[in-house]
Structure 1
């Protein structure tokens, strides 16, 4: 399957000015899927100029009805192509086809959600003195740079681009090289939607970081929306400081799952195994640590090892596969090295993963489960982006919360109990942006998500996601009073 991509700049699909291209590979078998432009700073300069020009025309930034209709038409086109998009996503990313189908469906839902909000950006007016009025209105912030990761490229593109467009911003999108083809296919669906002005959305792919660096440093880019590692997020913050641009950063997590003594262990273990291996463990909200009440610890250890060990690992396009490959050999080798270091340091190795025999490519890893007591261990603190799960025990609620909160991250967690009051008080005590009760990895367009501490800045999804792309303007007028 070939799906070659081009850049989109000022409404025109074109190759990189540098004349370079790169290949996109299927991580399941290493085959070449197509090529995409390997862009540079001059491409970025042209794209930002096109986005700024489009923003300065009031026909987009001040026309919420047009923005709504463009978003709705985009959603329709995405929905019509959802099966081909899902297959391309699985081929390029490696995730199981069912997960890709769910991701495309969620992306379509999110576009429609923000289409509805495009016509509801209310301000307010009040009379501060007799005849003197203060009007507060919401305005689009300007050109937005959107840097998209490879692990969930459909929904993570849409959760930034859809609210940016709904707010009236224009955008330059920089997808991950590993998933450049599916990102281009989604932007093509938007470009073909009736009514989208040229330059409102621009797309640049690259293998390096020249485009991303230009977006972060450019004084003509007002907002950066980035999802990725904490280390890269810190570099973006530092590089963006001179221009004081707005930042929306989701920077990873180390999700804890707190399992209390009143649960039915077997189904919870099955659910946690799926939560830990979603996108082969390459999701920032994936289950990383399982904290179990001491009275059920041994039972959970056996059940979780069985659930992880029985998962079918293979090509995401094959029927019945539950976990696909990691994104590429470089990522797989890095994760494998961190897991090996974990195996050497952990109190107990419950399930040893490693590379499966006879795999079509070298990007597959089987799930690993270790047990450990010290929460200061590197593999409990570090976000290892793959199928590694750490099992811990606790005696009571206070210890469970203390252990879970011993982390630099604060993105998500889950609580597993039949006791309603316990679930609520523990959820309130956890320092996480999202806490699920008797579930994990449930994300919705309507509900804001984001992290505490090193998990990032701002919120995505929900109404509050619009705030990263809006400015508040105060307009004062002394209109006087009749008869005075």
Structure 2
């Protein structure tokens, strides 16, 4: 019998249950069976964690010791690198295939080391503004940061906020997604075990509801709020945070377009787009959602995408040769099914009709991909983010129409252009209103390169040097010393 895991809260350096004693189950989405229990916390737990983070910021040397911060981050990366088992736990709790889970852990470790390097390079500047009068600017940690982390890539999306927050000198309260509380707790155990980390600098509070998140958003003692999730939730956070005027970093939804020109290799491109559309079972904000194809190769791409989707192996993450695992939980599967049914009823053509596989997969939240073709880019399924393996195929006649169609959206997170013409690729990339545009690729992320969205896809940038900015304040210091 497999031992159930336990994800506790971390408050003021101590691992502890929720104050009210509530727990909830962690479920393997591949079979619906429990793998552990998590602390199901409330507002009092959140307040205790915020108080702990504020005390650590005000009384420890964490905000002032860049060398200590760098050392802690480097030690954390080293400890995670020795935990090969974490990728398997991520696969079990999240459902993604093992290769993607291993890739996520490797990316996270790389990003921790990147921000460890930046921890000791946060310069200001110094100048003589008048004779004998001097101005200095310092970049200082903003204070207590609240981090609300989603379930789809829980470790890299944790690290891309936690890494710069710690490098900047902030203290933090982390609210993980309930669906991935176990892997989050395990990853943070490796951080909390480092002797050089002052207690209270890192706090973790899990919940199945929203009381903890609401407290992080509304608390006067939380100076920065970093959130990744839906656009609607992002709007609610902005409204609720307005009275405190806290800094916000929001990465919200996306509806990524892949724009395909006839000079590309259609078969090879279709296979790569199918992979980009089904990464994490299509549950990624930058996943390929719309495929815009030049009219001259529309039918060829339709056949190639149909073949690519139908050849994907949908199976539990540890299955050799698996391309795609289950959706995260029953609620996500039900929402996805409802949206797909509505789309199928109104689209011009159903090219591939997805389904819930039976047999050995019947108890999991598996869904095979759906591909539809449609002309009207204003249709709800061309405009709204459908979180799962669902793709719309559209047709365009020239570059101008392709740009107009791709930009016909409230989002602006990412897009890709597929062409052998380098100048065309750059023209298109410049014209698309997206925070990231890939040329002949999709879903490529790097610790060193900033990402983020235009319009309703978010506020601020993550990764890269700009990723530090959300966790820093700029202070001007003036002194008139006179002249000799």
Q: TM-score range by the shorter chain?
A: over 0.9
Shift of 1:469: 0.2
Per the alignment, residue 212 of structure 2 pairs with: 211
Instruction: Provide the rounded CA distance (Å) in 1 between the counterparts of 2:481 and 2:30.
Output: 68
Instruction: Provide the rounded CA distance (Å) in 2 between the counterparts of 1:467 and 1:252.
Output: 22
Shift of 1:300: 0.3
Match of 2:44 among 42, 45, 69: 42
Instruction: Provide the rounded CA distance (Å) in 2 between the counterparts of 1:161 and 1:424.
Output: 33
Instruction: Provide the rounded CA distance (Å) in 2 between the counterparts of 1:58 and 1:427.
Output: 46
Per the alignment, residue 323 of structure 1 pairs with: 324
Instruction: Provide the rounded CA distance (Å) in 2 between the counterparts of 1:263 and 1:412.
Output: 20
Match of 1:446 among 445, 448, 452: 448
Deviates more, 1:57-66 or 1:410-419: 57-66
Deviations along 1:20-42, whole A, 9 cap, x unmatched? 01110000001110001000111
Instruction: Provide the rounded CA distance (Å) in 1 between the counterparts of 2:446 and 2:54.
Output: 31
Shift of 1:204: 0.4
Shift of 1:45: 0.6
- Aligned ranges for residues 376-395 of structure 1 at < 5 Å? 376-395=378-397
For these two proteins, the number of residue pairs brought into alignment is 481
2:99 is aligned with 1:91: no
* Structure 2 residues not aligned, in runs of 5+: none
Instruction: Provide the rounded CA distance (Å) in 2 between the counterparts of 1:421 and 1:58.
Output: 54
Per the alignment, residue 368 of structure 1 pairs with: 370
Shift of 1:354: 1.6
Match of 1:459 among 458, 461, 478: 461
Report the 3-state secondary structure (helix = DSSP H, G, I; strand = E; otherwise coil) of the residue aligned with 1:89: helix
Per the alignment, residue 106 of structure 1 pairs with: 107
Deviates more, 1:107-116 or 1:353-362: 353-362
Report the 3-state secondary structure (helix = DSSP H, G, I; strand = E; otherwise coil) of the residue aligned with 1:60: coil
Shift of 1:317: 1.5
2:151 is aligned with 1:150: yes
Shift of 1:361: 1.7
Is the 1:77–1:193 Cα contact (8 Å) retained in structure 2? no
Per the alignment, residue 283 of structure 2 pairs with: 282
2:82 is aligned with 1:80: yes
Instruction: Provide the rounded CA distance (Å) in 2 between the counterparts of 1:159 and 1:190.
Output: 15
Per the alignment, residue 29 of structure 2 pairs with: 27
Is the 1:28–1:360 Cα contact (8 Å) retained in structure 2? no
2:118 is aligned with 1:117: yes
Shift of 1:318: 1.4
Is the 2:356–2:362 Cα contact (8 Å) retained in structure 1? no
TM-score normalised to structure 2 length:
0.99
Shift of 1:212: 0.4
- Aligned ranges for residues 134-283 of structure 1 at < 5 Å? 134-283=135-284
Instruction: Provide the rounded CA distance (Å) in 2 between the counterparts of 1:362 and 1:55.
Output: 44
Deviations along 1:73-110, whole A, 9 cap, x unmatched? 000011110x2111000100000000000000000000
Shift of 1:55: 0.4
2:61 is aligned with 1:59: yes
Instruction: Provide the rounded CA distance (Å) in 1 between the counterparts of 2:161 and 2:350.
Output: 40
Per the alignment, residue 128 of structure 1 pairs with: 129
Report the 3-state secondary structure (helix = DSSP H, G, I; strand = E; otherwise coil) of the residue aligned with 1:137: strand
Report the 3-state secondary structure (helix = DSSP H, G, I; strand = E; otherwise coil) of the residue aligned with 1:205: coil
2:418 is aligned with 1:408: no
Report the 3-state secondary structure (helix = DSSP H, G, I; strand = E; otherwise coil) of the residue aligned with 1:219: coil
Shift of 1:58: 4.7
2:438 is aligned with 1:436: yes
* Structure 1 residues not aligned, in runs of 5+: none
Report the 3-state secondary structure (helix = DSSP H, G, I; strand = E; otherwise coil) of the residue aligned with 2:41: coil
Deviating above 3 A after TM superposition, structure 1's stretches of 4 or more consecutive aligned residues are none
Instruction: Provide the rounded CA distance (Å) in 1 between the counterparts of 2:60 and 2:364.
Output: 51
Per the alignment, residue 420 of structure 1 pairs with: 422
Per the alignment, residue 333 of structure 2 pairs with: 332
Instruction: Provide the rounded CA distance (Å) in 1 between the counterparts of 2:435 and 2:195.
Output: 37
Shift of 1:57: 2.3
Is the 2:88–2:98 Cα contact (8 Å) retained in structure 1? yes
Instruction: Provide the rounded CA distance (Å) in 2 between the counterparts of 1:135 and 1:425.
Output: 41
Instruction: Provide the rounded CA distance (Å) in 1 between the counterparts of 2:302 and 2:362.
Output: 31
Shift of 1:362: 4.2
Is the 2:150–2:229 Cα contact (8 Å) retained in structure 1? yes
Report the 3-state secondary structure (helix = DSSP H, G, I; strand = E; otherwise coil) of the residue aligned with 1:476: strand
Is the 2:260–2:292 Cα contact (8 Å) retained in structure 1? yes
Instruction: Provide the rounded CA distance (Å) in 1 between the counterparts of 2:357 and 2:394.
Output: 26
Instruction: Provide the rounded CA distance (Å) in 1 between the counterparts of 2:181 and 2:393.
Output: 36
Report the 3-state secondary structure (helix = DSSP H, G, I; strand = E; otherwise coil) of the residue aligned with 1:432: coil
Instruction: Provide the rounded CA distance (Å) in 1 between the counterparts of 2:314 and 2:464.
Output: 34
Deviations along 1:213-246, whole A, 9 cap, x unmatched? 0000000000000000000000000000000000
